[in-house]
């Protein structure tokens, strides 16, 4: 833990965390849309709509136009404003509050526990935006008479609450929180650990290149660990009622049906766009966050030591 990390006010850390996530989302929203479409492809035993990520990309552009790749952007930005602001703010606070021995950074397993706690809390706060995002990105794949036609995230949230009940905004909260625990334990802990190891190797300095490499390592670890939970979350949040009954009873039911109907490796369906989205999003989020922290310490606090952000 560094002295510099202490003096950046916690509200500023929360603000920077959310802002970094929102900035990254503007770049990766098309990949998020493709990932969601691929996870829903083949649902219910139907013929798969898309064979590969490139097939999905081409099909979406041909049928819906290039701007359809940004459907749900408002929901994606709100998700980052709620989820990422909360999780990064809480993780940074925990990182500073519970250091390792003699003020050293916390160990890897402690980082993982901190990441799980931060992710679970952030996911609960961000679930309404997540539900809107899943539905808005999936809408274009439906026949015209079945589309929900949300105009923007505000319209989606109001209509969902009015038409299906306010608690529907937290549909899939449990798998969403479960996914967030896996994602954040893997992402935040592996980023912190990778960054430390890179700096200790002597081949890297605490700069953008170090942040980039650490982020790519973190993104790969996180993708492999979290995809099964993510596909369960996606399908639960997008499901409709069939004969008055929900299509799935929960995340476990999704996983069982996916494996039985589509095969075990279907749990990693959409791996390429997921990593293509999560990798750059992780990279951009942490790079933006590190640069915001550096700017604040240098420009506002007058610190010229060049030390890291503390996580």
The answer to the question of residue 83 being in a domain is yes
199 within some domain:
yes
Residue among 184, 82, 58 nearest 133 (CA): 82
Q: How confident is the model at residue 302 (pLDDT cuts 50, 70, 90)?
A: confident
* 306 found inside a domain: no
Average pLDDT over residues 172-192: 82
Query: Tokens for 186?
Result: 């893997």
Q: Is residue 30 part of a domain?
A: yes
Number of domains observed in the structure of the chain: 1
Residue-wise pLDDT tens digits, 254-277: 889 889 888 888 888 778 777 877
pTM of structure: 0.69
d(CA 16, CA 205): 22
Range of the domain at 33: 3-300
Residue 81: inside a domain: yes
**311 within a domain of the structure (yes/no):** no
pLDDT at residue 3 is higher than 60: no
Which residue from 79, 36, 11 is spatially nearest to 285, judged by alpha carbons? 79
Average pLDDT over every residue of 202-217: 86
CATH number, position 273: 1.50.40.10
In sequence order, what are the residues at sequence separation of 6 or more whose Cβ sits closer than 8 angstroms to the Cβ of residue 199?
205, 206, 210
pLDDT class of 206 with cuts at 50, 70, 90: confident
Measured CA distances, 72 to 20, 140, 179 (Å): 18, 11, 20
- pLDDT number for residue 78: 95
Least confident segment among 57-66, 71-80, 285-294: 285-294
Structure confidence at residue 167 (pLDDT): 92
Q: Is residue 305 part of a domain?
A: no
Q: What percent of the chain has pLDDT over 70?
A: 93
Minimal CA–CA distance to 92: which of 114, 110, 120, 109?
A: 114
pLDDT digits (tens, 9 = 90+) for 105-163: 788 788 888 888 988 999 999 999 999 998 998 888 888 888 888 999 999 999 999 99
Residue range 38-45: mean pLDDT, rounded: 69
Question: What is the arithmetic mean of pLDDT over 5-18?
Answer: 76
pLDDT at 306 over 60: no
pLDDT in tens, 215-254: 888 888 888 888 888 888 878 877 777 777 777 888 888 8
Q: Give the CA distances from residue 84 to residues 133, 151, 199, 255, in Å, rounded to whole numbers and listed in that order.
A: 15, 24, 26, 26
Q: What pLDDT sits at residue 47?
A: 56
> Is residue 309 one of the residues assigned to a domain?
no
DSSP per-residue codes, 67-97: GGGGTTHHHHHHHIIIIIHHHHHHHHHHHHH
Check pLDDT > 60 for residue 172: yes
Are the beta carbons of 184 and 115 closer than 8 angstroms?
Answer: yes
The chain-wide mean pLDDT, for the chain, equals 83
**284: pLDDT strictly greater than 50:** yes
* Average pLDDT score over residue span 171-196: 83
């Amino acid at each position: 833990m560094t002295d510099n990390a202490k003096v950046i006010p916690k509200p500023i850390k929360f603000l920077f965390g959310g802002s970094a996530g929102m900035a990254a989302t503007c770049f990766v929203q098309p990949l998020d849309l493709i990932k969601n479409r691929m996870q829903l492809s083949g649902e219910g035993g139907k013929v798969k709509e898309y064979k590969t990520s490139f097939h999905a990309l081409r099909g979406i552009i041909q049928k819906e136009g290039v701007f359809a790749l940004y459907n749900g952007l408002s929901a994606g930005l709100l998700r980052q404003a709620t989820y990422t602001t909360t999780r990064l703010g809480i993780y940074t606070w925990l990182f500073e509050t519970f250091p390792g021995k003699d003020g050293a950074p916390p160990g890897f397993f402690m980082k993982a526990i901190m990441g799980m706690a931060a992710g679970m809390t952030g996911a609960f706060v961000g679930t309404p935006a997540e539900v809107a995002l899943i539905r808005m990105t999936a809408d274009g794949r439906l026949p015209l008479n079945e589309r929900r036609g949300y105009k923007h995230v505000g319209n989606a949230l109001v209509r969902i609450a009015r038409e299906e009940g306010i608690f529907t905004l937290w549909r899939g909260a449990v798998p969403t929180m479960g996914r967030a625990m896996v994602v954040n334990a893997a992402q935040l802990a592996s980023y912190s650990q990778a960054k430390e190891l890179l700096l200790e190797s002597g081949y890297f300095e605490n700069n953008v290149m170090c942040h980039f490499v650490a982020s790519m390592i973190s993104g790969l670890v996180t993708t492999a660990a979290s995809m099964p939970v993510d596909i369960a979350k996606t399908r639960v949040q997008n499901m409709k009622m069939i004969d008055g009954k929900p299509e799935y009873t929960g995340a476990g039911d999704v996983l069982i049906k996916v494996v039985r109907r589509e095969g075990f490796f279907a749990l990693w369906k959409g791996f390429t766009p997921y990593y293509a989205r999560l990798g750059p999003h992780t990279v951009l989020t942490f790079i933006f966050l590190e640069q915001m922290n550096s700017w604040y310490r240098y420009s506002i606090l007058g610190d010229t030591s060049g030390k890291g952000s503390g996580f």
